[in-house]
Amino acid sequence: MTYRYVGESIARVDALAKVTGTAIFPGDRTYENPLWMKVLFAGRPHARILRIDTSAAEALPGVVAVLTARDVPVNEYGLQFPDQPVLCGPGSDKPGADVVRFVGDQVALVIAETEQIAAQACEQIRIEWQDLPVLSDPLQARAPGAFPLHPHQSHNIACELHIAKGDVDAAWSQCDVIVEETYRTPPQEHAYLQPEAGSAYMDDQGRITVHVAGQWASEDQRQIAHALNMPQERIRVIYDAIGGAFGGREDMSVQIILALAAWRLFERGIRRPVKIIWSRTESILGHCKRHPMVIHAKWGAKRDGTLVAAEVEVVSDAGAYMYTSNKVLGNAVLTCTGPYKIPNVRIAGYAVYTNNLPSGAFRGFGAPQGIFAAESQMNRLAAALGMSPVEIRMKNLLDEGDPAAFGTPLPGAGGLRRVTEMAARVAGWLDASAEGTMAPHAGDAIKRRGRGLATGFKNIGFSFGYQENSWAKVVLEGETEIERATVFIAGADVGQGHHTVVAQIAAEALDVPLERIALVVSDTAVTQSSGSASASRLTYMAGNAVKGAAERALAKWRDEERPAIAEFTYLAPKTEPFPSEEGIPFKPNFAYGYVSQSVELEVDTETGFIHLLRVVSAHDVGKAINPQQVIGQVEGGVVQAYGYAVLENFQMRDGYVLTPTLSTYLIPGVLDIPDEVETIIIENPDPNGPYGVRGMAEMPYLCIAPAVVAALYDATGVWFNEFPLTPERVLRGLGKL
């Protein structure tokens, strides 16, 4: 079907403001006579605060207030489970709130006339500590008898999940080849463009108004209201322009403390806005990281490559608090056996509390870790059997109607074969697969070339029994024709172009020019919940909501209603939680995205340096609302995943961060990106997505790490079970260090 606006690569609606520097990010917002706030972080991975003395800080000229745990009405918060104090210290009714559990726990707030005075006052706060045992290894932390880190339970297992199908124990005897390995995936810093920043004040209607950058405005509002023990309507959250997120802004950072500061100052008769901007080091210490995982995998296959059995254990380092560890673990468990037909499966997953930085949402949300293990196993099996990586995948990929490891089919699973075949064809794999072998080594004696392949999948939308929903409102104005269409939508544009595709969908549904579409976004005073900018869901969910509201408003318009106003809340198909018993099939998700990626690289065997020459990334997107933005997502995701696989080496020791700056934690620069990234867009419409949309924002990230490892093996004959593949790690693997 041909559309007028859907499927067109129009310019982003925020492009001009961002390239001219007129877009207002939270740190850019200016006020007359503002106050500045600084946070005193714990600086210790595990200790009890016996006493806090703020008198010297309060006496410093220019200090307006110092707030501690005693000032927090309900001293707890958390996206999934409220296990984290807003401020750690004595005087709180929350059990365990006097204990800090990682170096970035927040202990006190100083509000002062200048940022410099506030920082100086933080240094004047005196704390009497009682150090507690530090658990930094999740395997040790989950062991029986380990020191419990939280008062709500006697052990450190934050979440435990299981999947079972068939008879794994009996199946091993049917296997001609068995591959058993332990894989370790690292933490990763989000490194978004703008560190955490924001401001707060009491508005003329008596609401605490908070300007921040986040991923789910109504959820921020809910958690602020809970901690302050206020009705939600007394809290207003507004998102300014957002300088990247990648999951790192899904959990709280400065939202609650800004609201707390504005409110407590107002109680003291001070009605001045409060502003905060974290430094890069404060950002690195203060927000969550990608979950490090230890994954033990044992897979077996027949001589012809048919998969027979898989047994996997996933141990995820949750860090100090829950954040989204239960949901991330769920995704890792679902993906750790890949998109394959395996009749006998047993999976156990554990998220474990430690005294490391909390682990939370990050692009891919557990799937990159699970897929790294799954695709590494597939590539090892292919090598052991003398098969092409393409051939073994095509033999075992799930087809439409085939049950996955969790017992139910993947909707639209036919896309798996299409993306794998297209990636293989464009990257030149099919010639090699016809020979039944991997591509031969290339390059000279020092610089060796190789290529690798991986295929993956991930959910679209929230999972495991949550009733996915998204709200939108459309207002049509004019007399004889629609002169203006205002779309109210809360979905956060974190750089992915969400507001642009919303405008395109609205223009298509209303059949009005794009220039007549106006957007009112991410303001809890006038927008209800559209859900989070996560799970590759916003185009699917908010697109359905906008399309529904537009169609309702258009019907009213045709009935001569002026202005025509309509709201619509889209409810996605229902999903199911993990069953309480193993072996029970369940439907964890309502939609999936599918991806296959081929990587060609060159490795210098004298220096250990890896350079990506070419990446082919094939995606089943359902329908590309804006193809140019899809390509941008792919290119950005590939570079970010390259950083994860090769460059970014986040280091912690005994709960302390050893890489707290971007000079010690290296992210990809312009000279690090692959020479060529080729995007293949496949449109296999989802029947429930708006105009067939499937969703794809996280998919370009999923398969790069296992494809790079496979390519490195192809080049050197050496397998690597952990990354990042820094020069030192590569040289050690090659036996040169």
Q: What is the 3-state secondary structure (H, E, C) of 609-637?
A: CEEEEEEEEEEECCCCCCHHHHHHHHHHH
Residue 261, CA distances (Å) to 70, 112, 234 in order: 13, 11, 15
Q: With b meaning 16 or more CB within 10 Å and e meaning fewer, what string describes 537-552? A: bbbbbbbbbbbbbbeb
pLDDT band (50, 70, 90) for residue 439: very low
Higher pLDDT, 479 or 350: 350
Strands in 621-711 per DSSP E: 652-653, 656-657, 676-682
Count of residues making up the chain: 737
- Paired tokens of 666: 């290296």
pLDDT band (50, 70, 90) for residue 629: very high
- Residue pair 105/320 in contact (Cβ under 8 Å)? The answer is yes
pLDDT band (50, 70, 90) for residue 1: confident
The H-or-E segment that residue 325 falls in is helix 325-335
Place of tokens 């790079």: 708
Q: Identify any residues that bridge with 569 across adjacent strands, giving them in sequence order.
A: 471
Residue 230 CB coordination number (10 Å): 17
pLDDT band (50, 70, 90) for residue 434: very low
Place of tokens 């957007």: 519
Q: Is the peptide bond before 585 cis (omega within 30 degrees of 0)?
A: no
What's the whole-number mean pLDDT along residues 91-111? 96
Longest dimension (CA), the chain: 80
- Paired tokens of 95: 């059990």
Bridge-based pairing of strands 344-353 and 157-165 is antiparallel
Residue 45, CA distances (Å) to 39, 278, 355 in order: 16, 20, 6
φ, ψ dihedrals at 350, nearest 5°: -135, 125
The H-or-E segment that residue 431 falls in is helix 429-435
In degrees, to the nearest 5, what angle opens at C-alpha 657 toward C-alphas 656 and 661? 155
Mean pLDDT of the chain: 96
- Paired tokens of 103: 């170096």
Distance of CA 257 to the CA centre of its chain: 23
Helix (H, G, I), strand (E, B) or coil at 333: helix
What pLDDT sits at residue 442? 58
- Residue pair 112/64 in contact (Cβ under 8 Å)? The answer is yes
Among residues 250, 227, 289, 329, the alpha carbon closest in space to that of 79 is found at 250
φ, ψ dihedrals at 256, nearest 5°: -70, -45
> Domain 33-132+196-277 has what CATH class?
alpha beta
Q: Report whether CATH 3.40.30.10 matches the domain 469-571.
A: no
What's the whole-number mean pLDDT along residues 398-418? 96
Residue 253 CB coordination number (10 Å): 26
What pLDDT sits at residue 431? 73
Bridge-based pairing of strands 106-112 and 63-67 is antiparallel
For the segment 682-698, what is each residue's pLDDT rounded down to a tens digit? 999 999 999 999 999 99
What pLDDT sits at residue 445? 83
> Domain 293-463+580-733 has what CATH class?
alpha beta
The H-or-E segment that residue 63 falls in is strand 63-67
Among residues 494, 659, 555, 530, the alpha carbon closest in space to that of 219 is found at 530
Q: Identify any residues that bridge with 518 across adjacent strands, giving them in sequence order.
A: 486
- Paired tokens of 196: 């955490």
- Residue pair 466/532 in contact (Cβ under 8 Å)? The answer is no
- Which residues, 6 or more positions from 87, have their beta carbon under 8 angstroms from its beta carbon? 67, 68, 69, 71, 72, 75, 97, 106, 107, 108, 109, 257
End-to-end CA distance of the chain: 59
Helix (H, G, I), strand (E, B) or coil at 115: helix
Considering the chain, tell me which residue range(s) the CATH 3.30.365.10 domain(s) occupy: 293-463+580-733, 469-571
Among residues 293, 290, 288, the alpha carbon closest in space to that of 139 is found at 293
What's the whole-number mean pLDDT along residues 130-158? 97
What pLDDT sits at residue 438? 42
What's the whole-number mean pLDDT along residues 326-334? 98
Residue 558 CB coordination number (10 Å): 9
What's the whole-number mean pLDDT along residues 654-667? 97
The Cα 428–Cα 440 span in angstroms is 13
What pLDDT sits at residue 444? 72
- The secondary structure of 169-196 as a DSSP string is HHHGGG-SEEEEEEEEE-------SS-S
**Quick check: 437 pLDDT over 50?**
no
- Paired tokens of 22: 């007129």
Q: Identify any residues that bridge with 468 across adjacent strands, giving them in sequence order.
A: none
Q: Identify any residues that bridge with 610 across adjacent strands, giving them in sequence order.
A: 603
Q: Identify any residues that bridge with 314 across adjacent strands, giving them in sequence order.
A: 295, 349
For the segment 8-36, what is each residue's pLDDT rounded down to a tens digit? 999 999 999 999 999 999 999 999 999 99
- Residue pair 490/469 in contact (Cβ under 8 Å)? The answer is no
Q: With b meaning 16 or more CB within 10 Å and e meaning fewer, what string describes 620-648? A: bbbbbbbbebbbbbbbbbbbbbbbbbbbb
Q: Identify any residues that bridge with 39 across adjacent strands, giving them in sequence order.
A: 109
**Quick check: 92 pLDDT over 70?**
yes
- Residue pair 554/476 in contact (Cβ under 8 Å)? The answer is yes
For the segment 371-384, what is each residue's pLDDT rounded down to a tens digit? 999 999 999 999 99
For the segment 551-587, what is each residue's pLDDT rounded down to a tens digit? 999 999 999 999 999 999 999 999 999 999 989 999 9
The Cα 633–Cα 635 span in angstroms is 6
**Quick check: 283 pLDDT over 70?**
yes
Q: Is the C-alpha dihedral spanning 488, 491, 492, 497 positive or negative?
A: negative
Considering the chain, tell me which residue range(s) the CATH 3.90.1170.50 domain(s) occupy: 33-132+196-277
- Which residues, 6 or more positions from 472, have their beta carbon under 8 angstroms from its beta carbon? 487, 488, 489, 530, 542, 545, 546, 548, 549, 567, 568, 569, 570
Residue 18, CA distances (Å) to 11, 195, 247, 650, 721 in order: 12, 17, 21, 30, 41
**Residue type, position 345, single letter:** V
Q: Is the peptide bond before 513 cis (omega within 30 degrees of 0)?
A: no
Helix (H, G, I), strand (E, B) or coil at 612: strand
Q: Is the C-alpha dihedral spanning 247, 668, 643, 655 positive or negative?
A: negative
Place of tokens 């089919």: 409
- Side-chain-side CA neighbours of 660 within 13 Å: the count stands at 16
- Which residues, 6 or more positions from 352, have their beta carbon under 8 angstroms from its beta carbon? 138, 139, 141, 142, 156, 157, 158, 315, 316, 317, 318
